[in-house]
Amino acid sequence: MSELEISNITKDYGATRALHPVSVNVEQGEFVTILGPSGCGKSTLLRILMGIARPSAGEIRLAGARIDPLPPEARDIAMVFQSYALFPHMSVGKNLAFGLRMKNVPKPERARRIEHALEICNLTGLVERMPRQLSGGQQQRVALARAIVMQPQLLLFDEPLSNLDAKLRDTLRQELVDLHRRIGATSIYVTHDQAEAMAMSDRIVVMDGGRVVEVGTPLDLYRAPTRAFTAGFLGQTNLITADADGDRARLPWGQIVVLSAPAKGTVRVSVRPETIAIQQDEAGVGTVTSVSFMGAHALYTVGIAGTTLKVSQAGTESLIAAGNRVSLAFNGPLHLLVERKLQEAA
């Protein structure tokens, strides 16, 4: 039994369906990110988990007990908001004490937990401050402390870093990862930022158009996505149509490649730019149309058989100038995309 079981949750607003049946299981202590573009239904799902929106159908179990009919205050869930949502009329200490007071936690226990939360969120010394006297990063840390002080069964994060500037975002992201490792709370993190999702998560739930597209570890989803949407959303990729026969396939320009699984007929594969080896070759079929040197790697655009491919070359000593002919080699077997998504991805 998983700690959190979301089964066939749907949400309809009148005639429009915001969530198609969504089922996700989250294990105890796991950090799961729900990743998707705006309007993909991730926020709706979060509101349903929190209890401020009711699902149209389906059920949610937390630690075995059904929670979907319960109001927010009866769920053992705490949330960190994008807008921080601190109580502006209460000091940091009172913000942290609010939930404990509401849940009738005895006073000595309250003080102990607040002390601990302040310490692990680097807020010691700010307990008397009002939220308006804090910087954005400090405010978000208070919001985080206010959530973890509840020691909830489930922690929710709604794009908590997107109101912060880039540098602070990186710092706080690292702090969040460290914090999760220390307290091990089961967490669901909602974001549209794929870098954030990959850096923080145990698993990622990719959503699009109110559906779960794919679920997997960051490494699996990046290396071997089974959907074109996942491939395109998590970093850069090349989608190539190939003609498969067994575990071999012929690319449009005649090159034969190895597939990760046997297939027959027309298939599509996703190839990451960094898995293609590029070599200057007067007899090659590709032509470099542009090259951008990014420092750690060089990014080439290669025109080949009427399509363009992105190729990334790391640790290079010299660049291949635009206009030169090149040959490409594919390292390792190519991963097939699932057919069903062919039309949708087009």
Which residues contribute to the site for another protein (CB under 8 A)? Answer: 50-52, 71-73, 75, 77-79, 81-83, 85-89, 98-99, 102-103, 130-139, 146, 150, 163-165, 168
Nearest approach in angstroms of CB 3 to another protein is: 18
Task: Write down the least CB distance from residue 175 to another protein, Å.
Answer: 13
What secondary structure does DSSP assign to 145-192, as a single string?
HHHHTT--SEEEEESTTTTS-HHHHHHHHHHHHHHHHHH---EEEEES
In angstroms, what is the minimal distance from the CB of 100 to another protein?
8
User: 3-state class of 93 per DSSP?
Assistant: helix
Closer to another protein by Cβ: residue 167 or 343: 167
Count the neighbouring beta carbons within 10 Å of the beta carbon of residue 119.
Answer: 11
Report d(CA 298, CA 319) in Å as an integer. 8
* Tally of CB atoms within 10 A around 308: 15
Nearest to another protein of 94, 297 (CB atom): 94
258, 244 in Cβ contact below 8 A? no
CB of 156 to another protein, least distance (A): 8
**What's the min distance (Å) between Cβ of 325 and another protein?**
50
Give the residues across from 175 on adjacent strands.
Answer: none
Q: Residue 198: in which H helix or E strand, if any?
A: helix 194-200
CB nearer to another protein: pick between 168 and 319:
168
> Nearer Cβ to another protein, position 51 or 218?
51
Compute the least distance from the CB of residue 109 to another protein, in Å: 15
Nearer to another protein, 18 or 86 (CB): 86
Report the length, in residues, of the chain.
346
Furthest C-alpha separation in the chain: 79
CB of 282: closest distance to another protein in angstroms? 54
Rounded to 10 degrees, what is the CA torsion of 83, 85, 90, 96? -110
| Beta carbon nearer to another protein, 146 or 272 | 146
Closer CB to another protein, 150 or 263, in the complex? 150
Give min distance, CB of 72 to another protein, in A. 4
Interior angle at CA 230, CA 225 and CA 236, nearest 5: 90
Q: Output the smallest distance, CB 142 to another protein, in A.
A: 11
Judged on CB neighbours under 10 Å (0-12, 13-18, 19+), 318 is: exposed
Residue closer to another protein, measured from CB, 81 or 330: 81
Long-range CB contact pairs, 328-332, < 8 A, 24+: 328/255, 328/276, 328/277, 328/278, 328/279, 328/284, 328/286, 328/302, 328/304, 329/276, 329/277, 329/279, 330/255, 330/257, 330/258, 330/271, 330/275, 330/276, 330/277, 331/275, 331/276, 331/277, 332/258, 332/275
Of the pair 51, 225, the CB lying nearest another protein is at 51
Q: How many CB atoms lie within 10 A of CB 46?
A: 20
